Amino acid sequence: MKFVFHTHKPKARALAEAMLTGSVRAGVDYIPTGERTYFPDRIGIFYGVVHETYDLFMEYRRNKGAIYLDNGWFSSEALPTFRFSWNSAQAFLKDHPMSPESSILRFAELPPLKKGLRKPDNALLILQSRQYFDFLRIGMTRDEWEEQTTRMLRAKGYWVETRDKPNKKDPGARSFFRQMSRAGIVVGFNSAAVLKAMRYGLPGYCTAPSTINPYLDPEVPPLGEAEPLPPHIVNDLCLKLASYEIDKVDLSNGKVFEQIMSVPEEKKRGWWYGPE
């Protein structure tokens, strides 16, 4: 396989450079570029596809040659991790991980939640960025999704508290973990925050198809009926997810190429939300 990493923002360029080092070690034909030109004989890699690269990503995807690279489920400042999926924004996770065992078989401990704050009727609604919804092109805006989901939760008896996309420049941003302490259930579009809720022993739900959906209820239970998953099932899910997370070492030593190429054909199409 031949690869090309199309970059736009600074973090994508940094990851592309790390992968360049890895490609040399792995003997892989690979080009990092800021150009928005389709290479028909290559697999296109994109980190956090944005408006500027969306059409190019979709062109690779139509030809079954797109890799979506995103922050990992367990990524933290201390240990940044990443995940990838073929031709999709979310990967399928059924009977086994997407790719061979990674060096990342650990995940950071979550800080403890404050006791005595939890309210069973409080649904914490996790909001993705408006740009993310625009990029997915699912036929509704982030605000429309928020309104529709809030209405659904209220109809089931919940009081709704929202959690907006955090802004590091805003020192007054509400604490995610304090909000989680109050939650009776955590609901997102396909957010990693739902996985954090499950690790805390809280019921979680994603409104769109996502990697963790096979473990979730098909719809949000009415108030009083939401039950958390047993700890051993959550642990099993976390181990499966962690087994195909990659870190910067995997990028720079070439292991990520081994993982990408090892994904079987049936795993190369996960979930996409916008038009084909």
State the residue for tokens 């899910």: 237
So what's the pLDDT on residue 174?
62
Q: Tokens standing for 244?
A: 């195909």
Q: What is the largest CA-CA distance in the chain?
A: 58
State the residue for tokens 């473990």: 215
Q: Which residues of 117-264 form beta strands (DSSP E)?
A: 122-126, 159-163, 185-188, 204-206, 246-247
Give yes or no for residue 233 having a pLDDT over 70.
Answer: yes
Please state which of the four CATH numbers 2.60.40, 3.40.1000, 3.90.550, 3.40.50 is assigned to the domain occupying 2-92+245-267: 3.40.50
Q: Tokens standing for 92?
A: 């399928």
Q: Which pLDDT band, with edges at 50, 70 and 90, does 185 fall under? A: very high
So what's the pLDDT on residue 101?
53
User: Could you say which DSSP state residue 229 is in?
Assistant: P
All structural domains of the chain with their residue ranges = 2-92+245-267, 122-238
Q: Tokens standing for 233?
A: 């099932």
Q: In terms of DSSP bridges, do strands 66-71 and 81-86 run parallel, antiparallel, or are they unpaired? A: antiparallel
Give yes or no for residue 67 having a pLDDT over 90.
Answer: yes
Q: pLDDT tens digit string along 19-53?
A: 999 999 999 999 999 999 999 999 999 998 888 89
Mean pLDDT of the 70-93 span: 87
Ramachandran quadrant class, 68 (left: phi over 0; alpha: psi -120 to 50; beta: rest): beta
Mean pLDDT of the 195-217 span: 92
Give yes or no for residue 275 having a pLDDT over 80.
Answer: no
DSSP assignment of 81-106, as one string? EEEEEESSSB---SSS-SSSPPS---
From CA 3, how far away is CA 233, in angstroms rounded? 36
Is 139 in a helix, a strand, or coil?
Answer: coil
From CA 86, how far away is CA 23, in angstroms rounded? 19
State the average pLDDT for the chain. 89
So what's the pLDDT on residue 142?
95
Cβ count near 132 (within 10 Å) = 18
For residue 94, the one-letter residue type is K
So what's the pLDDT on residue 75?
87
The answer to whether 73 and 83 are in contact (CB under 8 A) is: yes
So what's the pLDDT on residue 191?
83
**Which residues, other chains included, contact 76 with Cβ-Cβ below 8 Å and sequence gap of 6+?**
108
So what's the pLDDT on residue 167?
61
So what's the pLDDT on residue 43?
98
Cβ count near 233 (within 10 Å) = 12
- Minimum mean pLDDT range among 29-43, 159-173, 248-262: 159-173
From CA 71, how far away is CA 52, in angstroms rounded? 19
Q: Tokens standing for 195?
A: 């996985």
Fold exhibited by the domain 122-238: Rossmann fold (3.40.50)
Q: Angle at Cα 150 formed by Cα 148 and Cα 153, nearest 5°?
A: 110
Q: Tokens standing for 224?
A: 């009083």
